Structure 1
Amino acid sequence: MSDFAYPLHEECGVFGIYDRAGTEDVAAAAYSALYALQHRGQESCGIAVNDDGVINGHRDLGLVNEVFTPAVLGSLAKPTAHMATGHVRYATSGSRVRANAQPMIVRHGRGTMALCHNGNLTNALELRRQLENEGAIFHGSSDTEVICYLVTRNRLRMGSIEIAISKTMDVLEGAYSLVVMSATKLIAVRDPRGYRPLCIGTLPGGGYVFASESCALDAVGATLLRDVEPGEIVITDTKTGELRSIKDHCGRPDRQMCVFEFIYFARPDSIIEGSSVHEARKQAGRFLAQEHPVEADVVIGVPDSGLDAALGYSQESGIPYGIGFIKNKYIGRTFIQGSQKQRENSVRIKLNAVTSTVKGKRVVLVDDSIVRGTTSARIIKLLRDAGAKEVHFRVSAPPFKYPCYFGTDIPDQKLLVATGRTVDQINEIIGADTLGYLSTEHVVQLAQNTNCGFCTACFTGKYAVKPEEVLSTDIHERHLNDRPKGEKKLGE
């Protein structure tokens, strides 16, 4: 991603495991899966374990290896536990505090529930206000807590947790992929439009795994079975060991996954909706070579998500592929989140040009997107300082022009370099010799084996659903601070 100072982030990664044979350490399996999903969220993480109907867990701010020390992981390891859920989070809705970490564990009159959520509700603010007016007290500021309240309330009224979830789906709008664990069931849920991915795997000894991406299945030795359909509720019943589903919310004609799952968010080794992420990114590079050919000596990619597209550009154009940058993999989040001066220097610390690859060469530089443009300009300067004769910048996505309401942390529209500017004007800002973006026509053709359409609202401004009140991506925090004069904040 071009803008290390303001990288795009995706809301979360979710995971759930039911080991029917009882041969797995489900806490350790969740730990391994979260490691595989760490790219989807680096701010907080958590694991909940079901030990014969008793659900306990641990969650905190930090990376997986920081939160789950050997002692903490050992405390969760239960020989009789057959189920567990796990979550990694990057906050786009709700502040960055421990109370918003997941899984969220709710204890109520009919038992205990652990819930993990990936996505962003567009009507969360409206639902939260309704619940507050009915007496609900919120402990955090995320839309996940809204979902927990609704499911719990419907569960108390209707009994069955899967029916409670279905009833809750009647009022939810926006993006949500859920993994829910009760005393006896593990459940996967995907919103009717299918904005965020969610897949099902099978364990060798019997049982099932749910995960945001198939790379997490590989991490625990599971085999990919299929994707959860948009609108589907998939239930693993520990009493029978069978998998069944409820499809009352399936069949919407406007199914559309976030196209950035294939461009940037997902790991290249994942399979989503039947398509390889790696191959989709190479296809983006091929399209770029067709749309924006140029005479050059070498094609390089910006690590890591630009590498696959650069390989595709090279294959299509016949221009040799080279390693143009070395990425420092030992820079932690503390450095990047430090002072403004540190953030400004982060590109030079994180990336270093390979002089032997680019010196005296006409270079095609491929990246997945340009957000604000400042980091793209610094990367181009790195190449020129290393002796590149020409730098031709190619972007494997269309220009970002509009905000996202479905879990992608795109900054305010006024910060997007593409808003109100032509390609030539953007190129003048970043300082390349030429600039070419992937077209909106081709971006929806990257993964042709999928059975769903793609959301491209951040490029086109055409939303399937949009919040009635557009505040900020951190909608609930703004909700607490922007109430009508005289109205008290929560907790006052």
Structure 2
Amino acid sequence: MCGIVGVVSRAPVNQLIYDALLLLQHRGQDAAGIVTQEGRKFFMHKAKGMVRDVFRTRNMRALPGSVGLGQVRYPTAGNAASEEEAQPFYVNAPFGIVMVHNGNLTNARQLRAELADTDHRHTNTESDSEVLLNVLAHELARASSGAPLRSADVFAAVRAVHGRIKGSYAVIALIAGYGLLAFRDPFGIRPLCMGHGSDGSTMLASESVALEGTGHVLDRDIAPGEAVFVHTDGRVETQQCAEHAQLHPCIFEYVYLARPDSVMDGISVYQARLNMGETLAKRVISTVPPNEIDAIIPIPESSRPSAMQLAQLLGIPYREGFVKNRYVGRTFIMPGQGVRKKSVRQKLNAISSEFKGRRVLLVDDSIVRGTTSKEIVQMARDAGATKVYLASAAPPVRYPNVYGIDMPTRSELIAHGRTVEEIREWIGADALIYQDVQAMKQAVGKVNPQVQGFEASCFDGVYITGDISEAQVTALNEGRNRGGEDEADTSRLALPNTSDAPDA
């Protein structure tokens, strides 16, 4: 999961891209980068860290031009400690191309070999995004045959890219002197939308909140398999470049990843979470009688809409029992389990008066490893709760995700191979209630009936691209990102295997 943005305007875009990246910061906190173009020259600055730390006044002044793109990075493949793997990536031929990518290629290893042996292109990092850029560059060179680039060549290249790469990808690329190219994988797993500003600018971004927060109007989502080419003069051309495109967005975007004020593929994230709270209410009633619950308390932030709807339907007081330190990053995407575990109590503090002597139902958006859930349940008990129930607005996460969420090993998932009762016992809750998979899909899908289905592999084990086997998951795990602040970790979500405790 990353956040990407691209802009074509008549005015300087450096500040506009910076502001958009701030609005997408929740999608990646590892690194940030911006590229702008003036004339035919690219100007780039990228580094590890948050947007506000990466870009100082001197950096912004060094990014002139009215066309550009940017990314906030959450690494899922490659080396997290390497600043070279911060995006955007650049190749000088053909034409000069810079690119940002959100997603994860499932055949990156095969493609890397093809690039070296057949295409004779060199990749210098372990990032699958660099692989994707070189595949795109090769296909653009083939389509243009050394002549000036035409729109038809751009769309032909994207068609060829779709034929070669597999996995999830939302891409924005800047071709020197020609314009901005954006395209989305044939299943639309990762989000991408476009809009316009009153000054005639065109913006593409991962979430609608980046458009609206910068004064742009959301026009529409990029369709699965579609390519959009925005010329430097602002003209927009589009073409469907995939033969069998069908919309199956990642449902985890609606559960946790996206901001609640975003609308993605015609689905309000906020409404989707309200709906999940509604269906979760039925599960709660079947497990814990409402008269045995004194208060419903969300675990900030993503679970709030679901918890509010649940409380309203059950007629139980909704209370804010945890105060969040907004200056600590999202623990789901923190580098290193040691850093993540330490941060839970730094990130949340319990309000004792909301727990003391009460039977509380805590509501979370999802439970991935369980480590954070266990810590929070204990915090509630320490604050004086007599009973602590835990409800998850999402079903059990039982399977690896290979499409851009860095949890590819089963041992990292508390729900894999364990019953709900076993999970409840380890977390330490008095009751544990999960959402139902089908109910979740229906709750989100009814917001936009035109969505054909969802990529929900971490919940149901069905990999929409059809190319994922046990061996493939193992191979992908070998290439997952390494490094970070905790040197004992082998990946950004790795866990120590030193006890009988679930690796979660």
Task: Specify if TM > 0.5.
Answer: yes
The yes-or-no answer on 1:231 pairing with 2:225 is yes
Indicate how the Cα distance of structure 1 residues 212 and 332 shifts in structure 2: closer, same or farther if over 3 A, else same.
closer
Indicate how the Cα distance of structure 1 residues 325 and 178 shifts in structure 2: closer, same or farther if over 3 A, else same.
same
Deviations 1:399-419 (A, max 9, x none): 011101110111520121111
The 1-side partners of 2:308 and 2:12 are apart by 39
**Conserved 8 A contact 2:328-2:343:** no
- Deviation, 1:359, is 1.4
* 1:248 counterpart (233, 241, 266): 241
Partner of 1:28: 15
Indicate how the Cα distance of structure 1 residues 343 and 93 shifts in structure 2: closer, same or farther if over 3 A, else same.
closer
Identity %: 38
* 1:106 counterpart (91, 94, 103): 91
- Deviation, 1:303, is 1.0
Indicate how the Cα distance of structure 1 residues 12 and 57 shifts in structure 2: closer, same or farther if over 3 A, else same.
same
The 1-side partners of 2:479 and 2:340 are apart by 27
Indicate how the Cα distance of structure 1 residues 475 and 191 shifts in structure 2: closer, same or farther if over 3 A, else same.
farther
The yes-or-no answer on 1:45 pairing with 2:25 is no
The yes-or-no answer on 1:147 pairing with 2:144 is no
The 2-side partners of 1:478 and 1:187 are apart by 27
**Conserved 8 A contact 2:398-2:459:** yes
1:88-237 matched pairs, under 5 angstroms:
88-96=72-80, 97-108=82-93, 110-134=94-118, 135-159=120-144, 160-182=153-175, 183-237=177-231
Partner of 1:449: 447
* 1:405 counterpart (402, 405, 418): 402
Deviations 1:229-280 (A, max 9, x none): 00100111234x3222111316534x31110100000011111111211111
Which TM-score applies when normalising by structure 2?
0.87
Indicate how the Cα distance of structure 1 residues 129 and 337 shifts in structure 2: closer, same or farther if over 3 A, else same.
closer
Indicate how the Cα distance of structure 1 residues 169 and 198 shifts in structure 2: closer, same or farther if over 3 A, else same.
same
**Conserved 8 A contact 1:362-1:390:** yes
Partner of 1:287: 279
Deviations 1:187-225 (A, max 9, x none): 210100010110011111112110000111022210000
The yes-or-no answer on 1:345 pairing with 2:325 is no
**Conserved 8 A contact 1:122-1:174:** yes
**Secondary structure of 1:177's aligned partner:** strand
**Conserved 8 A contact 1:395-1:437:** yes
The 2-side partners of 1:433 and 1:333 are apart by 26
- Deviation, 1:304, is 1.1
Letter of the structure 2 residue corresponding to residue 304 of structure 1: E
The 2-side partners of 1:343 and 1:29 are apart by 32
**Conserved 8 A contact 1:55-1:113:** no
Letter of the structure 1 residue corresponding to residue 467 of structure 2: K
* 1:264 counterpart (256, 259, 263): 256
Deviations 1:126-160 (A, max 9, x none): 11112122343211111111111111111222113
Letter of the structure 2 residue corresponding to residue 59 of structure 1: K
**Conserved 8 A contact 1:229-1:250:** no
Indicate how the Cα distance of structure 1 residues 231 and 337 shifts in structure 2: closer, same or farther if over 3 A, else same.
closer
The 2-side partners of 1:142 and 1:177 are apart by 15
Indicate how the Cα distance of structure 1 residues 141 and 333 shifts in structure 2: closer, same or farther if over 3 A, else same.
same
Task: Tell me the number of residue pairs that the alignment of Structure 1 and Structure 2 aligns.
Answer: 459
The 1-side partners of 2:341 and 2:264 are apart by 35
**Conserved 8 A contact 1:95-1:474:** no
- Deviation, 1:472, is 5.7
* 1:370 counterpart (364, 367, 373): 367
Deviations 1:43-78 (A, max 9, x none): 1111110112322211111111111111101111x2
The yes-or-no answer on 1:86 pairing with 2:83 is no
The 1-side partners of 2:261 and 2:27 are apart by 14
Structure having greater relative contact order (Cα 8 Å, sep ≥ 6): 1
**Conserved 8 A contact 2:280-2:310:** yes
CA-atom RMSD in angstroms:
2.1
The 1-side partners of 2:364 and 2:27 are apart by 19
Partner of 1:6: none
**Secondary structure of 1:292's aligned partner:** helix
The 2-side partners of 1:435 and 1:60 are apart by 41
Structure 2 unaligned residues grouped into runs of 5+: 145-152, 483-504
Letter of the structure 2 residue corresponding to residue 286 of structure 1: E
1:375-390 matched pairs, under 5 angstroms:
375-390=372-387
Structure 1 unaligned residues grouped into runs of 5+: 1-10, 480-492
- Deviation, 1:333, is 8.8
1:298-337 matched pairs, under 5 angstroms:
298-331=295-328
Deviations 1:97-146 (A, max 9, x none): 122111112111x4211111000111111111121223432111111111
**Conserved 8 A contact 2:205-2:211:** yes
**Secondary structure of 1:402's aligned partner:** coil
Deviations 1:348-404 (A, max 9, x none): 222111112121112110001112222211101111111112111100111011101
The 2-side partners of 1:106 and 1:292 are apart by 54
Letter of the structure 1 residue corresponding to residue 114 of structure 2: Q
**Secondary structure of 2:354's aligned partner:** helix
